[in-house]
Amino acid sequence: MLFLTSVFTSIAALLVQRAQADCQLVGGNYYCSETTAVAYENIGYSGSYSDVTNMDESSCKCSQESVSFSGSMSPLDEELSVHFRGPIKLSQFAVYYPASGSSSTKKAKRDEGESCETVQHVHHMHKRAAAVTYVETTATVYADGSNAEAASTNAATSSTKAAPSSSSSSSSSSSSSSAAAGDWVRTSYYKPGSATNVTFLNTLGGTAGSGTWSTCFGNSLSYCASDGSSAAGSAEILDDVTLESNTEFMVMSSSECGDSSASGDCGYYRSDIPAFHGFGGADKIFFFEFQMPSDSSASGTNPDMPAIWLLNAKIPRTLQYGDSSCSCWSTGCGELDLFEILSQGSDKLISHLHDGQGNNGNAQGGGGSQDYFARPVDDTMSAVAVFSGSTIMIAQLDNSTTLGSTISESTVSSWLSQSASDATIA
């Protein structure tokens, strides 16, 4: 964009001054202003990543093939899985899609100058940074090649205990009859003890009657038990539980994958796992109500570092933690951190996109915001992540917000058009 040079220069200078004044470097990460909304614009590009096509149990090697993609929101228009790490209590989770036949895309407009765009971005190591989990063994931490300079803080490791469980009921939300064109309709919903089109999984395969374990690839996906931390033999619904630090679970839909071949409806996935579809499509809304209580006595790999994040659902269906050639993550198939604590005991939640946008074929593209959401330590926080066209708006909602089985077009438009901290994309 062209501006009068002098005007531009002074704005830039002001921003730099403001950035220096307002942003703090803590543990290798910059934190600027508290925010209630972070906006990603122009998401989607033409590129490729390496998809896993086989996991060989005799050689312990994975095969990969390049796949191309393009268009708005790509590759985050592919199916996503939703991940949670303690300390966390999940009070509600829902997924909404545009009512059939509606076109949902609304252009967002928002204030500029609210974010610290001129501040250096410190990318954090991926939380998934690979830990191979073996039964009765704690995680082996790998450096997965990402940003070594940030390793001391975000170092990722991941915890390996994981999970809750859940289940799924096959009931559907076919309440779309009451939805007007432009409205969004809920297709998945969880509150403690009840779940529709939601499956809770973790990575303790082979320990409790679901999933598998092998010397090559360790524990696969498993059903997560209702306690949120052990595995189960079949789908269970997460109870009203608070997960401890280093405990993780994930949510997929209750729509089962067909066969595990690369040409199947979920692409290739590891044999003998509970395999479910994630949440696909360029337009979708995730809703969360959660609390992240403090866990000051925590130790381990991610002590008192709660997080909610999205992955390309192919990642957990092959290998979430382990050899990087056994998942598409390192080649940029996509991760969006929605709310992530980056250092022990921090009260600042950061969002960051890890994919190949700006750095095709590599998870070190993408970008994020250094503005942060306040961690909901004492009360629950409600929030949405709205994917619409090429915009992603991650927004905190008022405590009093109640979402029903449909969300009106005007409500979604108001979320998309609010003032927000702009994410900076590579």
Ligand X SMILES: *[C@@H]1O[C@H](CO)[C@@H](O)[C@H](O)[C@H]1NC(C)=O
31 is an interface residue for ligand X by CB under 6 A: no
Q: How many residues bind ligand X (CB under 6 A)?
A: 14
The answer to whether the CB of 55 falls within 8 A of the CB of 318 is: yes
Least distance between ligand X and beta carbon 93 (Å): 12
197 is an interface residue for ligand X by CB under 6 A: yes
Cα 15 from Cα 10, distance rounded (Å): 8
Using CB positions, name the residue nearest to ligand X.
172
Encoding tokens for residue 348? 């600042």
- The one segment of 4-12, 257-265, 285-293, 395-403 that binds ligand X by CB under 6 A: 395-403
Q: What is the per-residue binding string for ligand X in 352-391, x denoting contact by CB under 6 A? A: ---------------------------x------------
Residue 140 dihedral angles phi and psi, to the nearest 5°: -95, 125
In the complex with ligand X, the residue whose CB is nearer, 146 or 197, is 197
The answer to whether the CB of 276 falls within 8 A of the CB of 206 is: no
In the complex with ligand X, the residue whose CB is nearer, 154 or 188, is 188
Q: Which of 35, 115, 187, 362 binds ligand X (CB under 6 A)?
A: 187
Q: What is the per-residue binding string for ligand X in 211-250, x denoting contact by CB under 6 A? A: ----------------------------------------
Q: Which of 157, 188, 210, 320 binds ligand X (CB under 6 A)?
A: 188
399 is an interface residue for ligand X by CB under 6 A: yes
Helix (H, G, I), strand (E, B) or coil at 60: coil
CA-nearest of 170, 239, 163 to 208 is 163
In the complex with ligand X, the residue whose CB is nearer, 74 or 301, is 74
Q: Put residue 195 in one of left, alpha, beta given phi > 0 → left and psi -120 to 50 → alpha.
A: beta
In the complex with ligand X, the residue whose CB is nearer, 187 or 247, is 187
In the complex with ligand X, the residue whose CB is nearer, 106 or 186, is 186
- The one segment of 13-21, 83-91, 306-314, 392-400 that binds ligand X by CB under 6 A: 392-400
In the complex with ligand X, the residue whose CB is nearer, 115 or 188, is 188
100 is an interface residue for ligand X by CB under 6 A: no
In the complex with ligand X, the residue whose CB is nearer, 364 or 406, is 406
Neighbours of 252 (CB within 10 A): 30
Cα 337 from Cα 354, distance rounded (Å): 8
Please give the helix or strand (H or E) that residue 38 lies within, else none. strand 37-40
Least distance between ligand X and beta carbon 185 (Å): 9
CA distances to 49, 209, 390 from 68, rounded to whole Å, are 7, 37, 18
Please give the helix or strand (H or E) that residue 12 lies within, else none. helix 5-22
Contacts with ligand X in 292-331 (CB under 6 A)? none
Q: Which residues contact 377 (CB under 8 A, 6 or more apart)?
A: 291, 292, 293, 294, 347
In the complex with ligand X, the residue whose CB is nearer, 91 or 140, is 91
172 is an interface residue for ligand X by CB under 6 A: yes
In the complex with ligand X, the residue whose CB is nearer, 59 or 400, is 400
Question: Does the CA dihedral 107-110-115-118 come out positive or negative?
Answer: positive
Q: Which of 277, 348, 354, 375 binds ligand X (CB under 6 A)?
A: 277
The b/e string for 292-312 (b: 16+ C-beta within 10 A; e otherwise) is bbebeebebbbbbbbbbbbbb
Which amino acid, one-letter code, is at 71? G
Least distance between ligand X and beta carbon 395 (Å): 11
In the complex with ligand X, the residue whose CB is nearer, 188 or 362, is 188
In the complex with ligand X, the residue whose CB is nearer, 273 or 285, is 285
Encoding tokens for residue 267? 């692409």
Least distance between ligand X and beta carbon 1 (Å): 34
Least distance between ligand X and beta carbon 249 (Å): 18
CA-nearest of 53, 55, 85 to 342 is 85
Least distance between ligand X and beta carbon 309 (Å): 18
The answer to whether the CB of 341 falls within 8 A of the CB of 348 is: yes
Contacts with ligand X in 45-84 (CB under 6 A)? none
Neighbours of 289 (CB within 10 A): 20
Cα 376 from Cα 86, distance rounded (Å): 13
DSSP state letters, 295-338: -TT--SSSTT--EEEEEETHHHHH-SSS-GGGSSGGGTS-EEEE
Site residues, ligand X (CB under 6 A): 95, 172-173, 187-188, 197, 253, 255, 277, 279, 379, 396, 398-399
